[in-house]
Amino acid sequence: MTALREKAALSAFRLVLAACASLAVQMARAEDAIEVTIKDHRFTPAEIHVPAGKPATLNIKNEDATAEEFDSSALNIEKVIGGGKEGTVRLRPLDPGRYPFIGEYHEDTAQGLVIAE
């Protein structure tokens, strides 16, 4: 019976350890996220710098009353963010370069650039 309890305790410990490691990774990603705002149909910042060769996360807050779409054929991303809502865009590791994006619903004003360096 004691060996069975030890196995159960060890299994529980491993589960807790795995959960803590997963949470630590998620928290690190959240801390490293780049905050982007959509207001008056414009992205701020409009120029986003990310490290080349590493994934990046954009937390996008839409302060406008209407939806906007973060759209980039260069990044192969389309993400609609409702008015007054927030969304997350995850960027794959990028080669050094410049990657344009637009707000598809307001292309004339909602424009930006991801620069991987």
The per-residue pLDDT string of the chain (117 residues; one tens digit each, 9 = 90 and over) reads: 576 777 766 665 666 555 545 554 454 444 589 999 999 999 999 999 999 999 999 999 999 999 999 999 999 999 999 999 999 999 999 999 999 999 999 999 999 999 999
Rounded Cα distance between 64 and 41, Å, is 7
DSSP string, the chain: -HHHHHHHHHHHHHHHHHHHHHHHHHHHHHHHPEEEEEETTEEESSEEEE-TTS-EEEEEEE-SSS-EEEEETTTTEEEEE-TT-EEEEEEPP--SEEEEEEEGGGTTT-EEEEEE-
Domain ranges of the chain: 1-32, 33-116
Residue 31: phi and psi, rounded to 5, are -70, -35
CATH of span 33-116: 2.60.40.420
pTM value? 0.72
